[in-house]
Amino acid sequence: MTIHGISPDVLTALEHVLGQSGVAADSADMAKYLVDWSGDHHGGALAVLKPASVAEVQAAVRLCGTLGLAMIPQGGNTGLVAGAIDIGTARGAVVISLERLNRIRLVDADNFILQADAGCILQHIKNAADEQDCLFPLSLGAQGSCQIGGNAASNAGGVNVLRYGMARDLIVGLEAVLPDGALWNGFSGLRKDNRGYDLKQLFIGAEGTLGIITGVEMKLFPKPGRVETAYLGLPSFEAAISLFRRARRQCCDLISAFEIIGAECMELARLADPNIVAPVAAPVHVLIELSSSAAIDLRALLVDFLAGTMAEDLVTDAALAESGAQARAFWAIREGLVEGQAKRGYHVRTDLSVRISDIPTLIAQARQFIELQHPGWISQAYGHAGDGNIHFNVLPPLDLAEPAARATGATITTGLYDIVNALGGSISAEHGIGRTRQRVYWAGMSAVQRRLVSTLKDALDPGGLMNPGCLFPATETSS
Ligand SMILES: Cc1cc2nc3c(=O)[nH]c(=O)nc-3n(C[C@H](O)[C@H](O)[C@H](O)COP(=O)(O)OP(=O)(O)OC[C@H]3O[C@@H](n4cnc5c(N)ncnc54)[C@H](O)[C@@H]3O)c2cc1C
């Protein structure tokens, strides 16, 4: 859907502030900004603004405020919940893409700090850290496309949360343009700073509803010189959770990833790459990674741990990576199954979290719900199990037309949310709310919680111009 109707005067005013290369207003130039990574969500915009400096972001925001134009900040558009594009709820808005703000500002290996423009691609930041023998541990399948500003705005998680935490835990300082165009510079280089409110947390996870992040200051870590990766086969999800508990105690904080994958997901991984072969034969797979920057014999630790768990039949099959290439092949399965789903077309996509011990119950109840109430639909369960995070996705039968699949998919999503709510879990472990989950998020809040978030929104964005329809209902900001 393309919303036409930007007046020539407004266009001229925008071009005056950003230059012609900073404004796209015809359908062909805007097209790539108006569809998300999955291809599931198509949006509309009056124009796409591409500021090339922080000052240009400020000028664009001020002008949009004066003209009463709603603004949608956009990073790599990999967010999966339509937070960065208007799917019909923003009443005609401009997209503000941060892609031209893409400079690494500082890599300070002595203080383990990296500062970057918000539009830097996550992979470029990781590479810059690596060149200084450091690690920036935020790691996710979209790292070649997502931007650090988008990671901050969505409080991204990924495969290393277990060891290093989410984006929120990795960010030391932020720089943001407020909805009135003022610039807040919250860079300090300080790891400890208890002077009053921690203002950066206002913008982290706010999904672009309180301002536009223009710069991110983040923590670096020593690069782990030693990494051991194993791909394991287990009889059940219960066994996988028992294994996790054991691993947590025996391998302690050396575990950097613990992913579970239902064996049914292999077919999806092969859609991404037909050469993928499961290294184990078992109903449930676990990808475990240990890493250390110290001279610890991780191999011996892992072998010893696996010997004990195999003797008890907790683990029934195991493959230890003999090389970096083999470890990458194991990870290609995990990454491939996400790509394969996108190739398969529309499907129900969730991002649930429960207490770790409730993971087997969540998966069993969700599978039973699909089998009994939606026969023919295909359940897929995988996720960052060490964080209690499961993507329980459901693929429509191949012969079902997309409109019908979408209608049933909405019912399935509601059913899955009911299951996770009954377990006291969350409908969004890491992808956020965006527009696709806005109604259910809003309906699930207590009156006090709604008052708190509305008070913050009204105080910072009284005109309601910053990403309307994302997190908040499109037409109101107060309860
Ligand atoms: C293959 C794949 C794997 C993924 N794996 C994971 C995973 O493991 N863990 C995880 O957490 N997520 C994952 N995601 C989701 C996604 O990659 C993350 O949410 C990512 O952080 C989004 O970054 P982005 O730059 O693409 O943001 P976008 O999608 O462009 O935007 C996301 C939200 O942030 C806002 N925003 C973007 N930039 C700014 C800014 N500079 N200032 C203010 N607001 C802004 C947008 O308005 C929107 O609301 C995955 C996605 C894909 C496609």
| Span 354-372, pLDDT tens digits | 999 999 999 999 999 999 9
Query: Cβ(209) to ligand 1 under 6 A?
Result: no
pTM to 2 decimal places: 0.94
Predicted local confidence at residue 6, as pLDDT: 84
Q: Which has the higher per-residue pLDDT, 177 or 1?
A: 177
Query: Cβ(224) to ligand 1 under 6 A?
Result: no
CA of 113 to the centre of ligand 1 (A): 22
Query: Cβ(146) to ligand 1 under 6 A?
Result: yes
> Among 174, 203, 212, which residue's Cα sits nearest to residue 55?
212
Distances (CA, A) of 48 to 8, 25, 27, 151: 15, 6, 10, 20
Query: Cβ(43) to ligand 1 under 6 A?
Result: no
> Among 171, 158, 150, 157, which residue's Cα sits nearest to residue 467?
150
Q: What is the C-alpha separation between 62 and 14, in angstroms, rounded?
A: 11
| Cβ contacts of 446 within 8 Å, gap of 6 or more | none
- E-assigned strand segments in 188-316: 212-219, 221-222, 226-234, 255-262, 284-292
CA of 146 to the centre of ligand 1 (A): 6
CA of 350 to the centre of ligand 1 (A): 15
Average pLDDT over every residue of 385-403: 94
HSE-CB at 146 with a 13 A cutoff on CA atoms is 26
Residue 322, Cβ neighbours under 10 Å: how many? 9
Q: Which long-range contacts (CB under 8 A, 24 or more apart) does 460-464 make?
A: 460/178, 460/179, 460/202, 460/210, 460/211, 461/179, 461/209, 461/210, 461/211, 462/179, 463/65, 463/68, 463/179, 464/70
Distances (CA, A) of 314 to 146, 163, 243, 356, 358: 37, 23, 7, 17, 18
Predicted local confidence at residue 40, as pLDDT: 85
Residue 49 has pLDDT above 60, yes or no: yes
Residue 3 has pLDDT above 70, yes or no: no
Query: Cβ(72) to ligand 1 under 6 A?
Result: yes
What SS3 class is residue 468?
A: coil
Q: String of b and e for 48-85 (b: at least 16 CB within 10 Å)?
A: bbbbbebebbbbbbbbbbeeebbbbbbbbbbbbbbbbb
Query: Cβ(215) to ligand 1 under 6 A?
Result: no
Residue 1 has pLDDT above 50, yes or no: no
Average pLDDT over every residue of 163-167: 96
Segment holding 100, helix H or strand E? none
pLDDT digits (tens, 9 = 90+) for 405-444: 999 999 999 999 999 999 999 999 999 999 999 999 999 9
List beta partners, residue 258. 288
**Residue ID of nearest Cα to ligand 1 atom 37:** 150
Predicted local confidence at residue 87, as pLDDT: 86
CA of 41 to the centre of ligand 1 (A): 14
Mean pLDDT (the chain) is: 94
Place 476 in a pLDDT band, splitting at 50, 70 and 90.
Answer: very low
Place 39 in a pLDDT band, splitting at 50, 70 and 90.
Answer: confident
Average pLDDT over every residue of 15-43: 93
CA of 319 to the centre of ligand 1 (A): 33
Q: What is the C-alpha separation between 58 and 51, in angstroms, rounded?
A: 9
Q: What is the dihedral of CA 404, 410, 412, 414, to 10 degrees?
A: -160
Place 264 in a pLDDT band, splitting at 50, 70 and 90.
Answer: very high
Beta sheet of 352-353, edge-to-edge order: 317-320, 226-234, 284-292, 255-262, 378-383, 389-395, 352-353
**Residue ID of nearest Cα to ligand 1 atom 8:** 158
Which residue is listed with tokens 């950003």?
Answer: 18
Length of the chain: 479
Predicted local confidence at residue 4, as pLDDT: 56
Predicted local confidence at residue 477, as pLDDT: 39
Place 91 in a pLDDT band, splitting at 50, 70 and 90.
Answer: low
In the chain, DSSP finds a helix count (H) and a strand count (E) of: 16, 18
51 φ/ψ sector (left φ>0, alpha ψ -120 to 50, else beta): beta
DSSP classification of residue 398: T
Atom of ligand 1 nearest to the CA of 79: 29
Q: What is the C-alpha separation between 15 and 48, in angstroms, rounded?
A: 11
Q: What is the C-alpha separation between 320 and 304, in angstroms, rounded?
A: 12
Q: Residue 389 CA to chain centroid, in angstroms?
A: 12
Average pLDDT over every residue of 447-451: 97
Place 253 in a pLDDT band, splitting at 50, 70 and 90.
Answer: confident
Q: What is the C-alpha separation between 343 and 321, in angstroms, rounded?
A: 28
Ligand 1 pocket mutation pick from 48, 61, 78, 430 by most atoms within 8 angstroms of CB: 78
Query: Cβ(77) to ligand 1 under 6 A?
Result: yes
Under 8 Å between Cβ of 429 and 389: yes
Residue 140, Cβ neighbours under 10 Å: how many? 21
Query: Cβ(141) to ligand 1 under 6 A?
Result: yes
Residue 313 has pLDDT above 50, yes or no: yes
CA of 282 to the centre of ligand 1 (A): 33
* Angle, CA 3 vertex, CA 2 and CA 9 arms, to 5°: 130
Which residue is listed with tokens 């929120």?
Answer: 168
Query: Cβ(391) to ligand 1 under 6 A?
Result: no
* Angle, CA 157 vertex, CA 121 and CA 220 arms, to 5°: 60
pLDDT digits (tens, 9 = 90+) for 197-251: 999 999 999 999 999 999 999 999 999 999 999 999 999 999 999 999 999 999 8
Q: What is the C-alpha separation between 145 and 360, in angstroms, rounded?
A: 33
Predicted local confidence at residue 88, as pLDDT: 78
Q: Residue 261 CA to chain centroid, in angstroms?
A: 18
Place 479 in a pLDDT band, splitting at 50, 70 and 90.
Answer: very low
